[in-house]
Amino acid sequence: MTDLNETTLTDAVLARFADTPDPRLKQIVTAFARHLHAFVREVEPTFDEWSRGIDFLTRTGQMCSDKRQEFILLSDVLGVSMLVDAINNRQPAGATETTVLGPFFVEGAPEVANGGDISGGASGEKLHVSGQVSSVGGTPLPGAVVEVWHSDAEGFYDVQRPGQTEPSSRARLRADADGRFDFWSTQPTSYPIPHDGPVGELLSATGRHPYRPAHVHFMISAPGHETLVTHVFVAGDDYLDTDPVFGVKRSLVRDYAQHPAGEGTDGRAMPEPWRSLHYDFALKPSAA
């Protein structure tokens, strides 16, 4: 144990964790050490490179606050968040696919009746969203809770705007007796993830952009079913193929149909052109 070298060191480290009482913790720390040592052997970093790596992680932690989690952002741009999501959300055939929650979900969004306007005064092209919530197999789920949130026409979420205290472009709805819901809002647009910190430096240094394709977030829950967290992306968006957090799935891309000025889907007068999105969601039954 006193004559360790690059051939024997990994086994010595793993031996130190051999008596870890918690089996799951033992599995995690030994796998982490084993893969980290394999990484170092593969790239053979210089002392300067290793120090720069430690500095990057230090600054990533220092960037975190109660309003920003730079480590989650790092997990996102490395594709780890989506990998964890995929492993924990293996869906049966017919179930709506999942994607990452993202950093802009807020508990306690205002409850809005079906057909209501959730925009909160945000500017932009009017958008009507409708859908149905069912179980896999097609059975409607009356009373399903539908949480929605999205960016505005300038690419901002309400929580990003300094001084804004009232929610906009977010709400909590309940599906009707047939599992249907609908609401009015404004057309979302693509937007950059926060890129003024270490993660932004990483994207720039590797020739990647920070822009997420436009989408509406949904979190849908119903008794006896697993909660669904997903997005519905805007077809034709320039960033669908290069989403920095790897969240796009083909089944989640839809046309946000364009309509001329005139009458809306619910009979209301629409003095300007508007858009509509219809998407039906199928929830996975709980294992129990």
User: Can you give the pLDDT of all 288 residues of the chain as single tens digits?
Assistant: 568 999 999 999 999 999 999 999 999 999 999 999 999 999 999 999 999 999 999 999 999 987 789 999 999 999 999 999 999 999 999 999 999 998 889 899 999 999 999 999 888 999 999 999 999 999 999 999 999 999 999 999 988 888 788 889 999 999 999 999 999 999 999 999 999 999 999 999 999 999 999 999 999 999 999 999 999 999 999 999 999 999 999 999 999 999 999 988 888 899 999 999 999 999 999 986
C-alpha to C-alpha distance for 182 and 87, rounded to whole angstroms: 31
pLDDT at position 288 is 62
Give the whole-angstrom CA distance, residue 244 versus residue 82.
Answer: 11
What tokens does 130 get? 């409708």
Q: How many residues does the chain have?
A: 288
pLDDT of residue 40: 98
Strands 211-212 and 191-192: antiparallel
Instruction: Find tokens 């896999």 and name the residue.
Output: 136
With beta carbons less than 8 A apart as the criterion, state whether 214 and 188 touch. Answer: yes
Residue 255 carries which side chain, given as an amino acid letter? D
Is CATH 2.60.130.10 the right assignment for the domain spanning 94-283?
yes
Asked if 134 contacts 280 with a C-beta cutoff of 8 angstroms, the reply is: yes
Q: Contact 249/162 with Cβ under 8 angstroms? A: no
What is the rounded distance in angstroms from the CA atom of residue 146 to the CA atom of residue 170? 11
pTM here?
0.92
Supply the angle between the helices 70-77 and 47-62 in degrees, to the nearest 10: 120
Please report where in the chains the tokens 């977030």 appear, as a residue.
217
* Domain assignments of the chain as residue spans, ordered by start: 9-77, 94-283
Whose CA is closest to 229, among 242, 237, 220?
220
Question: Beta strands 253-254 and 228-234: pairing type?
Answer: parallel
Beta-bridge partners for 125: none
3-state percent breakdown (helix, strand, coil) of the chain, nearest 5 = 25, 25, 50
**Complete edge-to-edge strand list for the sheet that includes strand 170-174:** 170-174, 145-150, 215-221, 228-234, 253-254
Indicate the Cα dihedral angle 100, 106, 108, 110, nearest 10°. Answer: -90
